[in-house]
Structure 1
Amino acid sequence: MKRLINLVYYLLTKVVVLVKTLLVSAKRLLLHISRKKRYAIPFYGFIAYVLFVVALVKTSGDANYNKVLANKRINDVTVINPIQVNKIIKPHTNEELIQAIQATSGPISIGGGKFSMGGQTGYENSLHIDTREFNKVIKLDTVTKQITVQPGITWRDLQDVIDPYDLSVKIMQTYANFTVGGSLSVNCHGRYIGHGPIISSVVGLKIITASGEIITASRSENPDVFNAAVGGYGGVGVIAEATLQLTDNVKVERHTQLVKVEEYHQYFNNNIRNDKKVIFQNGDLYPPDYDYVNVVSWKESDKPLTDSERFTSKDENYWLEQNLVEVVSWGDFGKWVRRSVIDPINYSTEKVTWRNKEASYDVKELEPVSREDETYVLQEYFIPVNRINSFVPKMKAVFDKYEVNVMNVSLRHAYPDTASFLSWANEEVFAFVVYYKQGTDQASKETVKQWTLEMTDAILSENGTWYLPYQPHASAAQFEKGYPNSGKYFEVKNKLDPVHRFTNKLLDKYNPYVTNTLAKEREAINGYYRAEEQTILTVPEWYLVFNPKEYADFLQEGNNPSDFPFYASIDEYWRLYDRSMKLVSDAYPENEEYNTMLQVIGVSITMEYAGKMIYENTIGRVFSWFSNRSLSEEEKTIIQAHRAYSDFIYDTAWYEFEFMPWVGKVWTVSDASEANWLRKWERALFFTLEFTFKAGYAQLIEWAAKSSYETPVTDVYLLVAGEGPTEGMGIKIIKALDDKKIISIPRWGVFTSTLLELKNTNFEIIEIGGNDEIAVSVLVDNLKSVDFDQVDRLYESRVVTKPNAKRIVYLLQVKELLPFLSYAASNHIEVEHMYDY
């Protein structure tokens, strides 16, 4: 024993001599360095550290990961109304449609060319029916001049079929890119003189209802269904077939005349209204003065063609037209250029062409180069023909007040429509088609909403109405006044679709049958809706919860802190970041705020772990040689502090943790152990430095969070169906109706633990945070398999301290969440976390 003591004493003596020698050598080295250079050492040391951190960030991650989630976002041509749907189908037959409808129980939305501009073709988490491949010609009768088509066919493709027979569409929009089904659903009109909306040219329909039944509807058979389907925005079912009346293709000649706006009605009555040879007519009301109308009419003619093309080519280049539209958007100067230069040149030559050519315009000629910051949008107002002179000043006043960048107002005439329940022409009207430019930011959207509400009041003051395919800003009271027969429409809809599965943003806003439903109640709950992509993006964020737990476990198991895999932890964070960003890159709009946050916390943890990695593998490892495998009370307290921190951040923001009390505990703990005093002091000093720095950084983050962000929503909301759950365990029932409830569960770790307790409860989750998908991670042994069909395996992740274990991240439908949790429990699979957005 004495020999052993002497040996230890000898070794300690040598170590002391070695340390003394190193300190003396360092002092002599510093004396040889000039004072100015001496001051530069910390600076260059810091630069070296920063470069080391940059190198760690650049060399970490998984740049080769290439899986992306399917894009289930739909949008319209304006790109300002993105909607995340549950599933997109592209049917080709009635049977496919019926099967899809009957196989689901949730909402259904229908879209074609996506030229409606306010959410009329989509609804969150809906089964979205994209009709564009449901586009066959079923029958063409050249004797009766009728054609039967599926709804997804565009007018341009239909023209290809009928033109060889010298037939033409009787009524359609100016542009031919729209689908027939979409045109019927909005009850479109065009520049056709002597006609009203398209409903007057529709012979009959076949409609697939929410039950999967096919109903034949016309003016004589199921007339209420017919009147609800045309102009019904897909609310009563899917138009499966439409039979349309055609007319003859003839040559038409262009005529123009500049008319004062106050004389326009009289001019129209004298020269256009009763002239049977006029096929198309519109008047361009020039902004910003709105004082003159350029009347453009196309009359049937026997003159030789000046343009022999049968219709507009689908491959036309519109570079010139697009740039001229951009010029017109340059404020008042652009409007002057259009009125004084562009239009006089454009209309200076004689033009005789085919009716089909004039009816085959392509909307690409109006498409801007980019819609990222600014976009072009339409509105349309229907004003009784004898009220336009009193309406124009009101319209101008609203545009002037809000400095609306109106590029064109086109005037069209329409006869009354008393058939469609959502008729926009209960009397003879002039349509004011307003084409304007707006920003895509939220402030611009709010401004448009304000002036649209004021414009709607101006329209109603003239006994007019507005067209519904555009942004649905009008209030419910305004809607009821502008569309007095809407009650009949919703009665038919309620009869055919009693649970109102066929819906969209327009119908959802004005449907009186859903006013008191839980679906509407959601909108009044602050924080109900959460961005679905965040269920993926929170995975790397939550790794900064899982990894401290690994570190606490690692210490508690008696491991040397210097052996903790700091670099592997850094690498794993950036791997999860790269994978998450790649996964959501196509499926969701860019979440710039969250992305920035992930980068900031990623750099922060890299800096922290880089410093600890340097220290633990130099000074820390040297002092670990003196540990004699015995932990001091100080070291045990340090382990307790790390465990307390890792437990705390499962349910609370990390910067709210009380760091400094733990520093005090380390220095006041009574130590009667035989642990080495060198190791004890080294651990205590390093812990003090670490937690003191974190305490200061946490205070800064807390100040920034409280000054920059609103009070965080600490609950996540679920829409559920069935008997359970009941209140308790943090669950609150917010609203209950029939067999459905809106409930709230605290966020973060409690959300996971609560749902694990509820896994065998008799209820179904319909949505969480307004979303239909959620990410879940499980921890399993490397050899264990997970065989649950209803999940999408995103990737595996390393548990850096346990080579034999792995983390698997899944994406699944929320309705499958409880069955998955039950499956995991019965198969001894540890559910680590449910990522609650």
Structure 2
Amino acid sequence: MVGLVIILSLGIRPAQHLWQAHKGDAVSVPLQNTGIANDVSQLNPTPMRTVGLGTDSAANLRQLRELLVLARATCTTVSIAGAQHSMGGHTLSPDGIRLDMRAFNYMRFDTVSNLLTVGSGATWAEIIPYLNHRGRAVGTMQSDNAFSVGGSLSVNCHGWQPNQPPIAATVVSVRVLLADGRLLTCSRTKNQQLFGLVLGGYGLFGVILDAKLRTVPNELYSYHRVAGAAENYIQEYRRHVDANPQVHLAYGRLNVTNSRFLEEATLNYFTTERLAKADYPMVEPGLLDLKRAVFLGSKHNTYGKQLRWDLEQGLSKVEEGSEFSRNQIMNESPSLYMNRSPGQTDILHEYFIPARHYNAFRLALQQRIPRHKADLLNVTLRNVYADTDTFLPYARREAFGFVLFFNQGTAPADEADMTALTQELIEEAEKLGGTYYLPYRLHATPTQLRRAYPQFDEFLRLKLDYDPQELFQNKFYQRYRIGIGHSIGNAKKQPVRTAQSSAD
């Protein structure tokens, strides 16, 4: 409320606009019916039985093994869920069992190796304060803290960590429960093939129980901002980020206002000043009501989009030179922008484009997006280096990720229009040697997926090696296992085997 009062100093029209946006905000997302599961898109209501786990990790492992025996015996599919932030049914399988892994949230920190052992159900919001107490920080994660470790590993996430590969590069090992009950430790030297399949494997090869992750020092950073023409963004990035080894977080923003659509950009980056002491204060971000009203007021509103861009640019100028700890920067909640309004939803896309084709893809977005109904709310630019660890890498060389955030209606016509737009943008990315990210809506055709990920059929074949009964399934797998001119189909059902002890 305080924030909404502050806006009065800017004038009557901004105050009225933001007050209306605030008043129109729904209090909460409508609840699902009992027995119906969904994900953050709210476009995937699916009949499923969700199984939660207790606080005893040893008892949980026994329960998981018993459940897998039952699922194999009854030919019931199993999906794996954490925070459920994927958008294409990756944690859902109709009439199956969904494992809620959030109880696997234990943490152990080794002060000698600086490695964090963490249960797959722990969220970054739980991990960051734990590491902050020890003067350490997460190496790689998304730009928000609501995601679970297991989900982040399953999509091989990346974030504002520039000139770095995705999160898989920070993983030392993972423990995985296979469909037949075996518990395997996987690393670059042990069960190496499974290591690369589980990371970025969308829960199709087994249940990630926990992982050992590399951590980095929690440092104090100074914030810097460069504004200019969007066409010059790569040159500015090379000058200010690549040329400065003290830059450890960086991202870009593109202007989405009608008058300057994708023609202006800001490069935002953070340089190291000094180490932060253990338990360095993580101040809660202020003015959340105001910031949310600014964001909501930009939806389908030309004036609101311009107001948001102007306010964000002004705030960024004020913050230049300010110091923030790495943990504070990364401890941001997505509650600022989470959609709670019925009849609409907010959807992400991401395309990974080689630097030399950055402007060509930006111009393609300028041409394609205005022809469709969906409302582009935000474009973030991220740098990512080549991924050499996972079987399905989206970054096979250095790339710049265009993270697109759309608002769309939930009616069939809205979904059809978004499908058409997505397929057009995937085609544009492919022409430029780029790829698209797999955790979002399943609008790509099977042909498009296989062109972007030519190793996908081998990925499916290896899935049948590790899970011949196809126990672990989700809507992503069910859509794309039928390929071009062939079908993986249902494997011959295997006899149920007794769960084995750890094969470590």
TM-score by length of 2: 0.85
Letter of the 1:429 counterpart: A
Give a deviation string over 1:676-700, Cα, whole Å, max 9, x none.
Answer: xxxxxxxxxxxxxxxxxxxxxxxxx
Letter of the 2:335 counterpart: K
Structure 1 residue 267 displacement after superposition: 1.3
Where does residue 478 of structure 1 map in the other structure?
Answer: 448
SS at match of 1:161: helix
Identity %: 27
In structure 2, C-alpha distance between the alignment counterparts of 1:173 and 1:395, rounded to whole Å: 24
CA change 1:412–1:97 in 2 (3 A) is same
Give a deviation string over 1:87-132, Cα, whole Å, max 9, x none.
Answer: 4333542222111111222111011101111111111011110111
In structure 2, C-alpha distance between the alignment counterparts of 1:341 and 1:312, rounded to whole Å: 20
Where does residue 290 of structure 1 map in the other structure?
Answer: 262
Give a deviation string over 1:147-180, Cα, whole Å, max 9, x none.
Answer: 1111000011112221111000000001011000
| 68, 80, 84: which one aligns with 2:43 | 80
SS at match of 2:265: strand
Structure 1 residue 517 displacement after superposition: 6.9
Where does residue 335 of structure 2 map in the other structure?
Answer: 364
Where does residue 164 of structure 1 map in the other structure?
Answer: 133
CA change 1:129–1:255 in 2 (3 A) is same
SS at match of 1:118: coil
Structure 1 residue 70 displacement after superposition: 7.8
Structure 1 residue 331 displacement after superposition: 2.9
Contact kept? 2:469, 2:492, Cα under 8 Å: no
Contact kept? 1:76, 1:114, Cα under 8 Å: yes
Letter of the 1:460 counterpart: E
Where does residue 253 of structure 1 map in the other structure?
Answer: 222
Structure 1 residue 286 displacement after superposition: 1.0
Contact kept? 1:185, 1:229, Cα under 8 Å: yes
Tell me, which stretches of 5 or more residues in structure 1 are unaligned?
1-68, 520-736, 741-837
In structure 1, C-alpha distance between the alignment counterparts of 2:152 and 2:489, rounded to whole Å: 32
| 179, 183, 192: which one aligns with 2:152 | 183
For the aligned residue pairs, the C-alpha RMSD in angstroms reads 2.4
Where does residue 101 of structure 1 map in the other structure?
Answer: 68
Q: How does 1:355-754 map to 2 (within 5 A)?
A: 355-368=326-339, 370-512=340-482, 516=487
Letter of the 1:362 counterpart: S
Contact kept? 1:225, 1:492, Cα under 8 Å: no
Contact kept? 1:224, 1:492, Cα under 8 Å: no
Deviates most, 494-503 or 483-492: 483-492
Tell me, which stretches of 5 or more residues in structure 2 are unaligned?
1-31, 495-504
Contact kept? 1:260, 1:292, Cα under 8 Å: yes
In structure 1, C-alpha distance between the alignment counterparts of 2:324 and 2:242, rounded to whole Å: 22
CA change 1:161–1:340 in 2 (3 A) is closer
| 292, 296, 305: which one aligns with 1:322 | 292
In structure 2, C-alpha distance between the alignment counterparts of 1:342 and 1:304, rounded to whole Å: 27
1:195 aligns with 2:195: no
CA change 1:73–1:304 in 2 (3 A) is closer
Structure 1 residue 738 displacement after superposition: 7.1
Give a deviation string over 1:718-745, Cα, whole Å, max 9, x none.
Answer: xxxxxxxxxxxxxxxxxxx9799xxxxx
In structure 2, C-alpha distance between the alignment counterparts of 1:513 and 1:261, rounded to whole Å: 39
In structure 2, C-alpha distance between the alignment counterparts of 1:374 and 1:739, rounded to whole Å: 41
SS at match of 2:245: coil
Letter of the 1:348 counterpart: V
Where does residue 6 of structure 2 map in the other structure?
Answer: none
Structure 1 residue 516 displacement after superposition: 4.1
Q: How does 1:116-131 map to 2 (within 5 A)?
A: 116-131=86-101
| 203, 218, 226: which one aligns with 2:195 | 226
Letter of the 1:81 counterpart: N
Where does residue 324 of structure 2 map in the other structure?
Answer: 353
Structure 1 residue 491 displacement after superposition: 2.8
SS at match of 2:133: helix
In structure 2, C-alpha distance between the alignment counterparts of 1:411 and 1:299, rounded to whole Å: 18
TM-score by length of 1: 0.52
Where does residue 282 of structure 2 map in the other structure?
Answer: 310
Give a deviation string over 1:510-530, Cα, whole Å, max 9, x none.
Answer: 2258964777xxxxxxxxxxx
Contact kept? 1:285, 1:408, Cα under 8 Å: yes
SS at match of 2:225: strand
Contact kept? 1:72, 1:88, Cα under 8 Å: no
Letter of the 2:273 counterpart: S
CA change 1:177–1:312 in 2 (3 A) is farther
Where does residue 300 of structure 1 map in the other structure?
Answer: 272
Contact kept? 1:312, 1:362, Cα under 8 Å: no
In structure 2, C-alpha distance between the alignment counterparts of 1:330 and 1:230, rounded to whole Å: 37
Structure 1 residue 334 displacement after superposition: 2.0
Give a deviation string over 1:368-422, Cα, whole Å, max 9, x none.
Answer: 3x33111211111111111111111111211011143111100000001122111
Where does residue 53 of structure 2 map in the other structure?
Answer: 90
In structure 1, C-alpha distance between the alignment counterparts of 2:119 and 2:179, rounded to whole Å: 18
Contact kept? 2:79, 2:474, Cα under 8 Å: yes
Structure 1 residue 83 displacement after superposition: 1.3
Structure 1 residue 346 displacement after superposition: 4.4
Contact kept? 1:254, 1:299, Cα under 8 Å: yes
Where does residue 547 of structure 1 map in the other structure?
Answer: none
Letter of the 1:364 counterpart: S
Letter of the 1:496 counterpart: Y
Letter of the 1:398 counterpart: R
SS at match of 2:390: coil
Contact kept? 1:284, 1:294, Cα under 8 Å: yes
CA change 1:348–1:97 in 2 (3 A) is same
CA change 1:304–1:153 in 2 (3 A) is closer
CA change 1:411–1:352 in 2 (3 A) is same
Structure 1 residue 216 displacement after superposition: 1.2
Contact kept? 2:481, 2:488, Cα under 8 Å: no
In structure 1, C-alpha distance between the alignment counterparts of 2:319 and 2:249, rounded to whole Å: 18
Give a deviation string over 1:205-249, Cα, whole Å, max 9, x none.
Answer: 110011011111101111110000000000100001211000100
Letter of the 2:46 counterpart: I
SS at match of 1:132: helix
CA change 1:513–1:130 in 2 (3 A) is farther
Give a deviation string over 1:233-279, Cα, whole Å, max 9, x none.
Answer: 00100001211000100001111111212211111112102322111
Contact kept? 1:311, 1:360, Cα under 8 Å: no
CA change 1:493–1:738 in 2 (3 A) is closer
When the two structures are aligned, how many residues end up with a matched partner? 449
Higher RCO (CA < 8 A, seq sep 6+): 2
